[in-house]
Structure 1
């Protein structure tokens, strides 16, 4: 099973931990690393590297970080550049973490990364467009049964 490390600014990761555990319970090989105001970016990278080592069983490690271009992202990319068995996905939300945790037993590191980033599991929705599409589908030849 591939390992997952979630990181973000201030209490992003620890907040996600509590939500993930409420939804799917504690998960093996899943670590959460907050980037606190008292930390340097070197401290952060050291913690990310240590978390990577703890969750890695040889099948790869996926870093899920909050903001593209932020320190957690940049430091995870430093790790990615040193290890071909690491991937980084930025813009992480609760749905992505839960789905990654649930799908990682059946999919490879590359497949999970693609799965999360190619929109199939995107939870970013324009509800007006979704409702319009549903309305359009209901108006397209469906009979009301009378």
Structure 2
């Protein structure tokens, strides 16, 4: 099973942990690493490496980080550059973490990374547009036989 490490600034990761666990329960091989104000970037990288070691069963490790170009992202990239069995996705949100946790047994590391990066599991929706499309679909059904 693919390992997943979630990281972000201040309490991003621990906040995501509580939300993920409320939705899907505790998940194996899923770690959360906060980058706190009291930490150096070297401390952060050490914690990311430790989390990677705990979740890595040999199938690969996916790092899901909050912001592209932020310290969690940059330090995860350092790990990626030294390990071909690691991928990093920035811009992580709750639905991405939940879907990654639930879908990771069905995909290889590269396939899951590509699906998440392309937004295939995205929950980002313009709800007015969705409602209007639903209304149009209902109108077209009434015009039929």
- How far apart are the structure 1 equivalents of 2:119 and 2:55? 26
| Alpha-carbon RMSD | 1.5
1:83-138 per-residue CA deviation (whole Å, 9 max, x = no partner) reads 11111111111111111111111111111112212122112222222222222333
Q: What residue is the counterpart of 2:78 in the other structure? A: 78
Q: What residue is the counterpart of 1:41 in the other structure? A: 41
Name structure 1 gaps, 5 residues minimum.
none
- What TM-score do the two structures reach when normalised by structure 2? 0.94
- How far apart are the structure 2 equivalents of 1:142 and 1:11? 48
Name structure 2 gaps, 5 residues minimum.
none
- Number of aligned residues: 145
Q: What residue is the counterpart of 1:132 in the other structure? A: 132
Structure 1's consecutive aligned runs of 4 or more residues displaced over 4 angstroms after TM superposition are: none
Q: What residue is the counterpart of 2:142 in the other structure? A: 143
Q: What residue is the counterpart of 2:7 in the other structure? A: 7
Q: What residue is the counterpart of 1:122 in the other structure? A: 122
